[in-house]
Amino acid sequence: MDNASDKIQDTVFTTYYHSPVGLLKISGTEHFISEVSFFDKTQKPASKTKNMPQLVIQCIEQLIQYFQGERRVFELPIHQPGSEFQQEVWSELMTIPFGKTISYLELARRIGDLKATRAVANANGKNNVAIIVPCHRVIGSNRELVGYGGGLWRKKWLLEHEAKVAHGVQTLF
């Protein structure tokens, strides 16, 4: 049986952060981050920050550190609904080091099924926690930028940002 305090703890809060790659929508509870997505609407919805959980504030702080080149690994609990296969793919994405890329084929190999390239690409595209679950680090087997829900220009920006911070490289693509 639910009580009022359980419902308050499970309340999802949403706020927005103006990042170098555009407006980010950030959602979470007191216990986990559930969404970091690109918000391309011309007018952002109003959001109250007075009662924002500390975890959502920490998420914004860690994103700021990431964009300033001061953070390579996020330390936030994440929860997003998905199938067992999607969860496996998203978990594997978290193992791709900052400043590195892998192909969709390599991602399929890492989860144990070379024939699952399209399926891992689809699961990658269903990731709702952009940047933190680094789906942008997956590229085509030919080293080309392919498929990114936030737009290829953002994928390119994120990869070049990470390469510059990690290796001093100015451009990748």
Whether residue 88 is found in the same domain as residue 162: yes
CA 112 to CA 130: how far, in whole Å? 24
Single residue among 36, 67, 98 that ends a domain in this structure: 67
CA 136 to CA 37: how far, in whole Å? 12
- Tell me, yes or no, if 135 is annotated catalytic: yes
- At residue 3, the pLDDT reads 45
Q: Which of 135, 139, 158, 163 is catalytic?
A: 135
The phi, psi pair for 27, rounded to 5°, reads -125, 145
Whether residue 147 is found in the same domain as residue 107: yes
Whether residue 98 is found in the same domain as residue 140: yes
CB 70 within 8 A of CB 97: no
- At residue 6, the pLDDT reads 47
**Any alpha helices (H) in 126-167, and if so which ranges?**
152-167
Whether residue 90 is found in the same domain as residue 38: no
Query: In which domain, by residue range, is 110 found?
Result: 84-167
Distances 19 to 37, 64, 71, 92, 164 between C-alpha atoms, Å: 11, 8, 15, 26, 17
pTM of the model: 0.87
Whether residue 111 is found in the same domain as residue 156: yes
Number of domains in the chain: 2
Burial of residue 3, with CB atoms counted within 10 A of its CB: 0-12 exposed, 13-18 middle, 19 or more buried: exposed
Reading the chain (173 residues) residue by residue, the pLDDT tens digits are: 444 444 445 899 999 999 999 999 999 999 999 999 998 876 656 655 568 999 999 999 999 999 999 999 999 999 999 999 999 999 999 999 999 999 999 999 999 999 999 999 999 999 999 999 999 999 998 888 888 888 999 999 999 999 999 987 555 55
81-95 burial, b if ≥16 CB within 10 A, otherwise e? eeeeebebbbebbee
Q: Give domain status of residue 73, yes or no.
A: no
